[in-house]
């Protein structure tokens, strides 16, 4: 069986985000089971590793302006990736494929023309969903302050919901990243074969760690900030922390890529916070922190960074809704808050309770230790796609 994998970017630095990490794990761990030809858009120079079973192919692409997406029939997440040269290469490569995977709604723009080209005797086409976009968009709109921006986001959200519905109904099968997303997408595309495809974890597993009074009173806010809504989430959190003056009572670091252009502005707007940016050795850095915050007020899906917290043994103070679908137990595997106000109220006491933080990180690691094996994940996916194969 030969796979053709259609993705927006070759999933290696300088591309850094949760969806990039997820795509990388899927591709690398499918390759031992079957050959994978990856076709992506080249918007930056990427040093691609040589992986047995994986053939990397890129099509040069210039990202359009965000304003250009307003006039497109596709939402911004997809319109920025529309490319006729890419579609031509997809059509050529599809002739040699036994299964075609469309990775993320960002690439769903190519599904309709591809299906028309291939006709009824095509190999199965599978859509890998990273989120349930229809539910994500109202929260994004509500978080905007400007009426004009709210209107633009409402228009973009309508287009995203329309594309999500059409794409999942058109393909031969789809996957979802959490059980909640799976149920929602099944309602959107009733009767369509569906598969739960949670991430695996291939990083460092810190076999032991003790959080004590000697551990620095450092709070880490980690995650990529490459999208508009992730920057909005960060801004809302920092404003809440700043209003309570917590940056003066403990060290608060913001860690992760996607903020290079805004660093100076953020340092002026939020004095007292530490904007670290991307760190090469996340395990080493998290070993210097006492607590991590996950405060996503917008969007669902799987939080890839929660795996880093758990396996690198950094306890989490998190909005309960942000970790929905993560199979972690509130109060045991993480400290839960219902909203930002409750999160802020808990933080001062929690940072000075190392015994509780130590118990939480140990419980979370023990719960996740038998889960998140990439090989098992991809065997399940490979079997699912095999069941879709047309005679």
241: CATH: 3.40.50.2000
d(CA 263, CA 265): 6
Give the C-alpha separation, 378 to 351, whole Å: 39
Q: Are 119 and 75 members of one domain? A: yes
Residue 167 in this model has a pLDDT that exceeds 70:
yes
Q: Are 174 and 168 in contact (CB under 8 A)?
A: yes
What pLDDT score was predicted for residue 143? 65
Q: 136-171: buried (b, 16+ CB within 10 Å) or exposed (e) per residue?
A: bbebbbebbeeeeeeebbeebbebbbebbeebbebb
Tens of pLDDT, residue by residue over 188-222, are 999 999 999 999 999 999 999 999 999 999 999 99
pLDDT tens-digit series, residues 359-377: 999 999 999 999 999 999 9
Report yes or no on 180 lying in a domain: yes
Which candidate, 59, 115, 49, places its Cα nearest to that of 86?
59
CA–CA distance, 193 with 186 (Å, rounded to integer) = 9
Residue 102 pairs in a beta bridge with 6, 127
Mean pLDDT for the chain? 92
List the alpha helices (DSSP H) in 199-299.
Answer: 228-243, 263-269, 282-286
In sign, the C-alpha dihedral spanning 222, 228, 232, 235 is positive
**Whether residue 315 sits in one domain with residue 194:** no
Question: d(Cα 307, Cα 310) in Å, to the nearest integer?
Answer: 5
Domain contains 230: yes
DSSP per residue, 305-338:
HHHHHHHTT--EEEEGGGGTTS-PPBTTTBEEES
Based on the number of CB atoms within 10 Å of its own CB, is 306 exposed (0-12), middle (13-18) or buried (19 or more)?
buried
Residue 210, in any domain of the structure: no
Note whether 222 and 134 are same-domain residues.
no
Per-residue pLDDT tens over the stretch 63-80:
898 788 888 999 999 999
Between residues 152 and 194, the one the model is more confident about: 194
Say how many domains are in the chain. 2
Same domain, 195 and 283: no
Count other Cβ atoms within 10 Å, centred on residue 378: 22
**Domain residue limits at 252:** 218-368
DSSP code, position 279: -
- Residue 67 and residue 186 in one domain: yes
């Amino acid at each position: 069986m030969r796979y053709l994998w259609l993705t927006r970017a070759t999933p290696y630095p300088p591309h850094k985000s949760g969806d990039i990490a997820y795509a990388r794990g899927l591709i690398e761990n499918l390759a031992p089971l079957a050959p994978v030809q990856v076709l992506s858009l080249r918007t930056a120079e990427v040093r691609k590793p040589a992986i047995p079973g994986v053939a990397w192919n890129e099509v040069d692409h210039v990202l359009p302006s965000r304003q250009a997406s307003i006039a497109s029939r596709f939402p911004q997440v997809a319109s920025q990736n529309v490319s006729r040269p890419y579609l031509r290469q997809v059509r050529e490569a599809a002739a040699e494929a036994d299964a075609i995977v469309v990775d993320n709604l960002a690439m769903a723009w190519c599904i309709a023309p591809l299906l028309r080209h291939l006709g009824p005797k095509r190999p199965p086409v599978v859509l890998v969903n990273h989120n349930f976009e229809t539910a994500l968009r109202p929260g994004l709109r509500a978080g905007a302050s400007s009426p004009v921006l709210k209107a633009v986001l409402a228009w973009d959200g309508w287009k995203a919901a329309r594309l999500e519905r059409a794409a999942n109904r058109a393909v031969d099968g789809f996957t979802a990243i959490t059980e909640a997303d799976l149920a929602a997408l099944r309602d959107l595309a009733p009767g369509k074969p569906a598969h739960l495809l949670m991430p695996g974890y291939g990083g460092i597993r810190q076999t032991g760690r003790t959080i004590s009074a000697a551990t620095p009173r450092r709070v880490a806010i980690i995650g990529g900030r490459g999208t508009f809504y992730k920057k909005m989430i960060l801004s809302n959190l920092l404003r809440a922390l700043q209003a309570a003056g917590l940056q003066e009572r403990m060290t608060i670091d913001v860690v992760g890529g996607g903020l290079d252009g805004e660093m100076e502005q953020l340092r002026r707007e939020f004095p007292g916070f530490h904007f670290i940016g991307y760190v090469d050795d996340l395990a080493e850095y998290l070993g210097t922190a006492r607590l991590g915050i996950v405060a996503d007020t917008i969007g669902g899906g799987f939080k890839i960074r929660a795996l880093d917290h758990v396996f690198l043994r950094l306890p989490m103070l998190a909005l309960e809704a942000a970790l929905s679908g993560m199979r972690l137990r509130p109060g045991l595997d993480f400290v839960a808050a219902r909203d930002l106000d409750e999160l802020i109220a808990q933080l001062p006491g929690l940072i000075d309770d190392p015994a509780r933080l130590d118990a939480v990180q140990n419980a979370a690691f023990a719960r996740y230790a038998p889960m998140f094996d990439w090989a098992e994940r991809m065997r399940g996916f490979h079997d699912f796609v095999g069941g879709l194969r047309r005679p």
